[in-house]
Structures are given as C-alpha cells and as structure tokens.
Amino acid sequence: MTIHDVARHAGVSSMTVSRVINGARYVSKDMREKVEAAIRALNYSPNLTARSLKRDVRIGALYSNPSSSNLAAFLMGAFRQSGTSGCQFLIEPGVTEEEALDGLERLIEAGIGGVILPPPLCDSALVLERVEQAGVLPLAFATAKPREGIAAIVVDDYKGAFDMTRHLIAAGHRAIGFIQGDPRHSPSQRREQGYRAALAGAGITIKPEWIAPGLFTYKSGLDAARLLLAASPRPTAIFASNDDMAAAVSAVAQGMGLTVPRDLSIAGFDDAPIASTIWPELTTIRQPIADMAATAVAMLSDQVREVRAGTSPSPRHVREMLTLVERDSIGPAPERSA
C-alpha cells in the first residue's frame, strides 16, 4: 500500500495526502477528513524509512530584531511545526543587511531548502538575489508587500492600525499621538497609513508634533515617548506601532507622574508577551505570531519536498487575521490635555 493508493481512494492528489500525513496546517477540513478516512479504510501505514529521509529537509530563518519580544513566540511556533512536519529548523540573526547576508551564507552552507525572511529582509533585493542564486525557496514573513512568485504570510497592517485608531476615537480621543515603526519595514508604512486614514475619516487634523519616529525597539519607544509627552498640548492617547514601544511609553508616562489610562491612554500592535506583563496591560492588535511561524515552516517544507519530487511548487500568499484585544491601557479621554 502506497501514498498513491490512498490518494486514489480519497480522490485527491498524492501531495495532498503527503500534506495531511505531515501535519500541514492549511489543508481544508473536508480534504483532511477524506484523506484520514482513506488511510483508515486501507489500513495504510507510512513507510518509516521514507519518513526518516524527510528529516533531511532543513528550513532556515533570519531575524532582524533580536530584542523583539515577538521572537519567543516565533520560535515556539516554528520549532513546534518543524517537529510535526519532520524537518529541521535553523535560525540566524541579521540586524543589518550585511549581517543578514552573512547569516544567510551560514544557512546555505548548512543545506537549507527554504528560508523565512521577515521585514525588512523580505524586501531586500540583495538578500532575495542571493537566495535565488543558491536555489533556496524564500518565504516573506509578515510582509505588507507580497511579491508574485514568492510565498508569503500576510497580515493587513493598514486595517489593524485603522481599527485601533478608531477605537481610540470612540473613547473620545482627538489628540492621538503616533510612534512610527522602522522605516525599512513595509508594515511600518501601512500602519501609519491606517492611523492617518482613521483620523482623516473622523475629520481630525493631524498635528506633526504628535508623530514621532521609532525603530520597533524599546529604546526608540523611550525616546519617542519623551518627545510626544513634551508637546504642548500633549496627546491624550499614544498609539505605538508595536508593543515594545508602547511599553516604553507606559514607563515614561508613569515616570512623569501620569496615570495610565486616566491621564494618558496607550495602544500597541502585535500582542507580544510584553503586552500582558506590564501594568496596566496593553490594549493592542493581536498578530498570531506563533501560528504564522508554524504556517511558514509547513509551507516551505512542503515546497522543498515538491521540488525534490520533481514538481514546480506554486508559492501561496496566506493571509492571517488580526484582532483587537482590549485590556486596561485605554480609557476615556480626559476633558482637556495637561
């Protein structure tokens, strides 16, 4: 009994059977049930030797912000799925483009078949060129600019920021500060666009002094918070492009004697672990980072196996949903700014 017999019995392709056996997350429920029913009916048992060979599949990842509180969630999802998909998962740092290229070389030497690239590396022409030269399959992770022919995990950063800004407006805030993300990252631009669109839609004028630069790091959040809270009048709410920077705003505000959210409301983006470990806990936009990482590993491992089987993989763009998580860092706008 072979995987092809199971496929014929279920009326699906052999690749679909392989995906079900290897725990791919993006197989539909109906398709999965068909395959599982065929496996039971035929009493099929995967060839253990063949399955052990699949462990030669190696998936790499580069990460550009080692201080991000999202990194733990990413690794948890990726390593969990690598076990399910029967592949090895390797990771290298790459804060600058030069460091990323060095890390990529180490991954290529280790024999990776696919690599996960977060922003801004997924938008780097040099990184993508080297990946192509090495015959490695790329996957753009959490990009705001998915490219045709390259697999991608996509989230709607614009809508997430738009929804959070509207949430602040609904709480009565009109003076809403914003901390930008790293300008090299495509999601940064989309988040700022969502913020601006929500304010414009509500007829609220955007004051230049209520927008501060950030780099998605806690330190940059400290600098941005000091700048925004020195404005006169200061914002009644600050929306930071990620939770690390939002946590920094909370620290600066409370250090100035302000009470959150009575004197200042704070919003973040990502729902990273730090969002629920500071006080008060952050209202934020949740990205399912662990699930996104698991999907990325499953997609790439499947594509590598398709290439090895002599077929041409069709890179997919998988869209993950964002949700607004309400906690205690947002309250009604005070009657006037201090």
Tens digit of pLDDT for each residue in 218-273?
A: 999 999 999 999 999 999 999 999 999 999 999 999 999 999 999 999 999 999 99
Beta bridge partner(s), residue 270: 286
Give the pLDDT score at 337: 42
For residue 69, the model assigns a pLDDT of: 76
Element (H, E) at 76: helix 71-85
Question: For position 49, what pLDDT does the model report?
Answer: 43
- Give pLDDT, residue 259: 97
pLDDT of residue 37: 92
Q: How far apart are CA 235 and CA 261, in angstroms?
A: 12
Mean pLDDT of 23-46: 83
Superfamily name with CATH number, domain 56-155+288-321: Response regulator (3.40.50.2300)
Q: What is the mean pLDDT of residues 21-30?
A: 73
CB 190 within 8 A of CB 182: no
Instruction: Indicate the pairing of strand 323-325 with strand 284-286.
Output: antiparallel
Residue 338's pLDDT band, with cuts at 50, 70 and 90, is: very low
Tell me, what's the pLDDT at 205? 94
Gap between the Cα atoms of 136 and 313, Å rounded:
12
Biggest CA–CA distance in the chain, Å, is 75
3-46 and 56-155+288-321 share one CATH topology? Answer: no
CATH T-level fold of 157-286: Rossmann fold (3.40.50)
pLDDT tens for each residue of 303-315: 999 988 888 888 9
pLDDT given for residue 66 in this prediction: 66
SS (H, E, C) 81-99: HHHHHCCEEEEEECCCHHH
Give CA 257 to chain center in angstroms: 34
Question: Average pLDDT over the chain, rounded to whole?
Answer: 91
Handedness of CA 181, 187, 189, 195 (dihedral sign): negative
The CA–CA distances, whole Å, from 174 to 114, 166, 167 equal 46, 10, 11
Contact call for residues 249 and 266 (beta carbons, < 8 A): yes
Ranges of beta strands (E only) in the chain are 58-63, 88-93, 114-117, 137-143, 151-154, 176-179, 211-212, 237-240, 265-267, 284-286, 317-319, 323-325
pLDDT of residue 151: 96
- Residues in Cβ contact with 127 at an 8 Å cutoff, skipping those fewer than 6 apart: 62, 97, 100, 101, 104, 117, 121
Phi, psi values for residue 306, rounded to 5°: -65, -45
Is the model more confident about 69 or about 243? Answer: 243
CB neighbourhood size of 280 (10 A): 16
Domain boundaries, the chain: 3-46, 56-155+288-321, 157-286
| Residue 24 predicted with pLDDT over 70 | no
Model-wide pTM > 0.85 = no
Q: In the prediction, which pLDDT does 68 show?
A: 73
User: Quick one: average pLDDT of 133-157?
Assistant: 94
The pLDDT of 74-100, averaged and rounded, is 91
Contact between 299 and 139 under an 8 Å Cβ cutoff? The reply is yes
Higher pLDDT, 89 or 68: 89
Q: Supply the pLDDT for residue 65.
A: 74
- Level-2 CATH architecture, domain 3-46: Orthogonal Bundle (1.10)
